[in-house]
Structure 1
């Protein structure tokens, strides 16, 4: 009998090497010492999965890691969190991706190797029939280069009665493909950050961008860092201010927010409650080095929410 998960997550998984206290890069022939280095699971889809699973939802992950130590490390961390990896492939074509985060406590810089993540195609979800989950979370949108593939998969999922969320991610090509608005039509919760919203809408101010998304009647959640987050669901706009916490490392904070929001969504909560859960998960994330280190269980999350006062401007 097919097991049905709360969420099937499709996307990237790699390792992050976080370097703390690197104020300058060494010149050729030089060596410098830093305050700390630590290894963590990385990749937006992987971090989303870890946070959602630790909150208590049943999660399956579909991605590709290598046959190397780093690939096994990622799988081990998934298993500890209770994530099903039977849909995760181990490839011998490439090694597991690595991202080196330099100075995450200030302006982060990255040196990244895609590795096995470059092998993943969203079309591969079509191999899973029937889909083993009531919800699918997608990452890896690349504008015009894979827009039609995303459209096909989203249509397939909607016909099957499965809800869909997607984090659009940063467009490193600079294309900011306008067809993204067509894709939004099939997405139940479409995540983007403030900068991405400005680029896609072509607006100079976030208020103008939110207004345009409202006019288009898209289901979008805009992550706004310390300012909190704004949800535009149909023609209704809800905003929830962020928590005031000490920021150590913002790596993965957006993915943690997504997981908190989707925990609420999958639990049948209101939009305002979803925003509170998302902001809380994001706030816990930024207080720790590494994208998944701040992920907590539901009890700890509720304790954080109850012990921190937040100005919820219109979370209702």
Structure 2
């Protein structure tokens, strides 16, 4: 269950988590930066960076949710009864899932999002900016707007979610956290988005004209039309990464592989994810194809796995890896993420990737697709323990 697409609603941006820690009161000094967490231990783009590259590797925008995740449920909740979960976590979610996955893989990530001026918003902003090292200079805080919330229940390898929130008012001088911030999108090597049928996102075309490489997935088409022409930004994309169900509906193909080839007539790189069966990709520019099986793992929570897959593929693409290596790496990062609960907190970093390869991966005949990691991980340490969600927004600081 390594490449499961895990989107919430059509067009809804991806989800991510963060650890529990004290939430500073409004107006109080910021906590000292957690340098070990906000500075990537490994830069996968070091070999290809140039002096005139944009400041940001990746730009993305969307809605940040506060995610509250319950795990260890034996079954779905039953009407009229009370269910107890064996595990619980809280973290930033929504687009924060994708942003955190990108940042943990060492990409310089800029996120434009609205934050409520409640404790949830403070918590999410602090975790993303200080905890993950994500640039939020294009984000803003909206006075009087409460943060969107999602409660996710994981059981039997699946999940059920309940969300509540209101659309944030548009950013302006009266509500902006930083009204003098430059207009979106900023110069960035790549941009990541989720295409929405029938809804134009003008910033994507603007970014593409400026030279950004666009990577996009798509949500479920609730209109039922499944018309590729309704995805206005598809021609601007370098890569399109739907799951198998979405790809086959959009192309009327009978198999994921046929759907990928059909999509490659509309976009340079088409990637179709197939859950536990892995993923298949077609590069229309070179004619190359790649197929990588899924890594068999026991999934605790699939929240955000689709976002982590995209982040892994973007990382490999910007680093210039071959198509098969990009596909394998994306599947590996997704497989590592589903073994922990939460969206953003479950996203793996390079120490976890290195630990997997030097443990379960290397020497395993079933992991031959990942041999390229020997070259990638030469200077990467596997000693730093990952952070995981805890069942609270943050513990109070103890007074000495």
Partner deviation per Cα, 1:131-155 (whole Å, 9 max, x = no partner): 232221123x3211x1xx33x4333
Residue 10 (str. 1) matches residue 61 (str. 2): yes
Quickly say closer, same or farther: Cα 1:67–1:106, change in 2 above 3 A. same
Distance 1:132 1:103, change over 3 A: same
Taking only aligned residues, the RMSD between alpha carbons, in angstroms, comes to 2.8
What is the number of equivalent residue pairs in this alignment?
301
Runs ≥4 residues deviating over 4 A: 116-120, 215-218
Q: Which residue of 2 aligns with 1:87?
A: 138
- Mapped contact 1:226–1:244 kept (Cα < 8 A): yes
Distance 2:281 2:186 in 1: 28
1:226-260 CA-partner distances (Å, limit 9, x unpaired):
11111222143211112121111111001011111
Structure 1's 75 and 201: CA in aligned 2 closer, same or farther, altered over 3 A? same
1:169 aligns with 2:208: no
Are residues 1:143 and 2:221 paired?
no
Unaligned runs of 5+ in 1: 121-126
2:312 to 237, 248, 260: 260
Using CA pairs below 8 Å that are at least 6 residues apart, which structure has the higher relative contact order? 2
Residues 59, 201 of structure 1: alpha-carbon distance in 2 compared, 3 angstrom cutoff: same
Q: Distance in 2 between matches of 1:14 and 1:112?
A: 9
Relative to the length of structure 2, the TM-score reads 0.68
More displaced, 269-278 or 31-40? Answer: 31-40
User: Of Structure 1 and Structure 2, which has the larger fraction of its residues in helix?
Assistant: 1
Q: Residue 75 of structure 1 aligns with which residue?
A: 125
Residues 1:204 and 2:254 are matched in the alignment: yes
Rate the CA distance shift 1:160–1:24 in 2: closer, same or farther, 3 A. closer
Q: Which of 1 and 2 has greater Rg?
A: 2
Contact 1:240 1:311 in 2 (8 A): no
Q: Which of 348, 367, 385 is 1:310 aligned to? A: 367
Question: Aligned match of 1:37 in 88, 113, 116?
Answer: 88
Counterpart pick for 1:132 among 181, 187, 195: 187
Residue number among 101, 126, 132 corresponding to 1:51 in the alignment: 101
Deviation of 1:292 (Å): 1.9
Q: 1:262 to 1:92 in 2, by over 3 A?
A: same
- The normalised TM-score by structure 1 is 0.84
Cα deviation for residue 55 of structure 1 reads: 1.5
- Of 145, 163, 166, the residue aligned with 1:115 is 166
Please list, as runs of the form range in 1=range in 2, the aligned pairs for 1:169-248 lying within 5 A after superposition.
Answer: 169-180=219-230, 183-216=233-266, 218-234=268-284, 235-248=287-300
User: What's the offset of the Cα at 1:215?
Assistant: 4.5
